[in-house]
């Protein structure tokens, strides 16, 4: 049950990012990187429910959200100017565009910088909130790990 809750939490965070994106808050490179560990956590939660080695999946979920928390904390540091972030930016697949269409897209695309806070609430940016919520989800995953360890210990006890 705890793994399903943690997976639902990651799925909710991913849905939230898509809502913000639909509202016009384009993600930067670090924003995109913070999403992938949540995708892994959702997959871990799904596999937790169907595979017999649940402790492994709970551990994968825990590590995934911890990775996202770390990326969120790093991104927060970039936003606050504590250290330099990546110099890259994000863009869509351009494989099917002609040279003219590609140039038009490049000239029209906004530059999304990782060191600029696009939105904040209570003084925390989206990256900071991701770090906070990811740490909370890590706690839930940790409870799932403990639950699986307890079940394993109970099976091994005569």
Q: What is the CATH number of the domain that holds 135?
A: 1.20.1550
Containing structural domain, residue 126:
2-85+115-156
Could you report the per-residue pLDDT of 121-137, keeping only the tens digit for each?
A: 898 899 999 999 999 99
Q: Which of 7-11, 85-89, 90-94, 99-103 has the lowest mean pLDDT?
A: 90-94
Query: Is residue 77 in a domain?
Result: yes
Quick check: 90 pLDDT over 50?
Answer: no
Q: What percent of the chain is modeled with pLDDT above 70? A: 87
Integer Cα distance of 37 and 71 in angstroms? 10
pLDDT of residue 95: 65
Backbone angles phi, psi at 66, to 5 degrees: -65, -35
Query: Is residue 94 in a domain?
Result: no
The pTM of the whole model exceeds 0.75 = yes
Give the position of tokens 């959702």: 42
């Amino acid at each position: 049950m705890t793994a399903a809750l943690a997976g639902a939490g990651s799925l909710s965070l991913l849905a939230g990012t898509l809502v913000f994106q639909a509202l016009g808050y384009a993600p930067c490179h670090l924003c995109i990187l913070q999403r992938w560990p949540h995708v892994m956590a959702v997959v871990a939660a799904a596999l937790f429910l169907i595979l017999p080695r649940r402790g492994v999946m709970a551990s994968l979920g825990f590590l995934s959200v911890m990775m996202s928390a770390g990326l969120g904390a790093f991104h927060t540091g970039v936003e606050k100017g504590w250290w330099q972030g990546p110099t890259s930016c994000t863009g869509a697949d351009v494989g099917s565009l002609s040279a003219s269409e590609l140039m038009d897209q490049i000239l029209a695309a906004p530059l999304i910088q990782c060191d600029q806070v696009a939105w904040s609430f209570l003084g925390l940016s989206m990256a900071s909130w991701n770090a906070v919520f990811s740490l909370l989800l890590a706690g839930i995953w940790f409870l799932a790990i403990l639950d699986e360890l307890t079940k394993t210990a109970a099976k091994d006890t005569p």
